[in-house]
Amino acid sequence: MLAGIKKVGPFEWEVPQGFVPNMRVPGRFFLSDALMETLEEGAVQQLANVATMPGIVKNSLAMPDIHWGYGFPIGGVAAFDREEGVISPGGVGFDINCGVRLLSTPLRAEEITNRRELIERLFHAVPTGVGAKSSIRLSSKELEGMLLKGSAWAVENGYGNAKDIIRCEEQGQMKSADPSAVSDKARQRGMPQSGTLGSGNHFLEVQEVREIYNASAAERMGLSTGQVCIMIHCGSRGLGHQVCTDHLKVLEGATKRYKISLPDRQLACAPLDSPEGRAYFGAMAAAANYAWANRQVIMHMTRGVLSSLYGIGEDEMPLVYDVAHNVAKFEEHRVDGTLKQLCVHRKGATRAFGPGSHDIPPEFADIGQPVIIPGSMGTSSYLLNGTSRAMERTFGSTCHGSGRVMSRSKAKKALSGQEVKKALENEGIIVRAPSVGAIVDEAPEVYKPSGEVVRVVHEVGISRLIARLEPMGVIKG
């Protein structure tokens, strides 16, 4: 165990002030004893670094998928006071609104007798991998629409239906988006990439609902055992990456100008109410909208494949929900009994608003917001719901995935792409990727067991299990 940190609950650890100099609040993270072995010192250091930032409220937090990132740790959550706080791209990451959505279908797993053909058709319908180009030719006016309106732009242009919109966090559109803060360079990158999956840990997976933990909530979300669902995981592509790069440079200057002292240059930030802070927030929101539109377009392509293969209509394939993993947003939270406007940064963490909270589809208002936790390729994914405990303890946040435990370089030495592919196929999981390297990078062995990460958030009560989904086939970026 790391010196200086202490256990304060069955799954809760504290990083006291003083762990790094100038911490304004303590750090807190959630982890089981079994996952403690995977904790990296670098991740704890990053959690402590975040605690030095001006205006941070209560705690610098990390979820049980905590791992060593850049700026914030992955799994990091921090809320900043609207008046005294800052905004930082280091708390959002390059892939703004990297997120995940779950699409339900009326199909049963046993009906998918042509699994390989289904995966092949999806692979050809959705462009994947480095340098992949979209079949959609956007005009600059259309790109502007995506940046302003997100999912609503996609629906207005024929990609999906109005019901999809209410099943997205923020209804798939951050209204504070300011496209004028998105550079020409970012636009150049975004133009040919709408409706592309990207690479790395991004994927589109065909899944079967294998186990239900909360029957009434699952029924309300339209899920039953044996049902086929599709999970889509991707973000804002080159446009979002460029927005982060551009504004990081501006905010580096701002950090000096506002005399903010930071332990890591990647945490460059500016006061929320400064021209630089407002510009980054507006550009980040526009990139988040691009990501929502992107996932909506990919879902539309997916529905097209399922319709043509199985003769089912779009209205039989409702979106269950869509959540963001990398974003900063203004939210109202109760702090020491008083409601406060805070800017909540989630970097590799998921919003998990409890029952009765703002911005939950009315049909789920008494259950809490659906939370989707993807597993790694070949391992379980989970559907959960947000809780009032998350509102009290984590600014309405929970984990976002499993978290890596093996580096890409180690994975390449230890595993072969063909073997990983074959092992998955032996379990009945078809994998399709542009290269075998992409398969090794994301092999099941390189991640923490997703079940253990989810067990921790369930036990702590910051989200509660509804269902477990198992992969049938996956296309990798």
Partner 1 sequence: MSYVELEHTADVKLRVEADTLEDLFSEAVRALMVTMYGTALPGACTVRVEVHAGDLVGLVHDLLSEALFLSEVNEVVFASACLTIEEGAVYGILQGEPFDPARHRGGSEVKGITYSGMKIRKEDDKYILDIILDV
Smallest gap from residue 393 Cβ to partner 1 (A): 25
Residue 241 interacts with partner 1 (CB under 8 A)?
yes
Q: Please, what is the minimum distance in Å from the beta carbon of residue 233 to partner 1? A: 14
Task: Count the site residues for partner 1 by CB under 8 A.
Answer: 45
Order of all β-strands in the sheet with 338-347: 6-9, 12-15, 27-30, 60-70, 72-81, 338-347, 326-335
Residues in 81-120 at the binding interface with partner 1, rule: CB under 8 A: 93-95
**Alpha carbons 469 and 25: distance in angstroms, whole number:** 38
Q: Please, what is the minimum distance in Å from the beta carbon of residue 307 to partner 1?
A: 28
Binding track, positions 186-205, relative to partner 1; x by CB under 8 A: --xx--------xxx-----
Contact 411, 470 (CB under 8 A): no
CA distance 8 to 201: 33
Residue type, 313: G
Q: What is the contact mask toward partner 1 in residues 275 to 314, using x (rule: CB under 8 A)?
A: ----------------------------------------
Instruction: For residue 41, count other CB atoms closer than 10 A to its CB.
Output: 11
> Which is nearer to partner 1, 217 or 377 (by Cβ)?
377
The backbone region for 366, taken as left when phi is positive above 0, alpha when psi lies in -120 to 50, beta otherwise, is alpha
Choice from 12, 14, 40, 459 touching partner 1 (CB under 8 A): 40
Nearer to partner 1, 201 or 385 (CB): 201
Could you please report the per-residue DSSP string of 78-135? EEEETTT-EE-GGGT-SSTT-EEEEEEEEEEGGG---HHHHHHHHHHHS--STT---S
Give the integer Cα–Cα distance in Å for 111 and 228. Answer: 9
Shortest separation between residue 341's beta carbon and partner 1, angstroms:
29
Measured in whole angstroms, how far is the alpha carbon of residue 284 from the centre of its chain? 15
Q: Are 462 and 390 in contact (CB under 8 A)?
A: yes
Q: Which of 245, 274, 307, 341 binds partner 1 (CB under 8 A)?
A: 245
Write down the catalytic residue from 233, 325, 400, 458.
400
User: What are the tokens at 142?
Assistant: 């259309």
Structure tokens at 348: 């590799």
* Binding residues for partner 1 restricted to 377-416, rule: CB under 8 A: 404-410
Separation of first and last alpha carbons in the chain: 36
Residue 242 binds partner 1 (CB under 8 A): yes
C-beta of 326 vs 387, nearer to partner 1: 326
Q: Which amino acid is at 337?
A: G
Q: Which of 438, 454, 462, 465 binds partner 1 (CB under 8 A)?
A: 438
- Among 14, 252, 314, 452, the residue binding partner 1 under the rule CB under 8 A is 252
Q: Which lies closer to partner 1 via its Cβ, residue 165 or residue 267?
A: 267
Residue 233 bears catalytic tag = no
What b-and-e string marks burial along 156-192, b requiring 16 or more CB atoms within 10 Å of the CB? ebebbeeebbbbbbbbbbbeebbbebbbeebbebbbb
Residue closer to partner 1 (CB basis): 163 or 265: 265
Q: Is 65 in the site for partner 1 (CB under 8 A)?
A: no
Residue from 441, 444, 453, 466 binding partner 1 (CB under 8 A): 441
Return the residues of window 124-153 that contact partner 1 according to CB under 8 A: 129-131
| Chain residues that interact with partner 1, rule: CB under 8 A | 40, 46, 67-71, 74, 93-95, 129-131, 185, 188-189, 198-200, 238, 241-242, 244-245, 248-249, 252, 264-266, 268, 404-410, 434-435, 437-438, 441, 477
Catalytic residues: 400
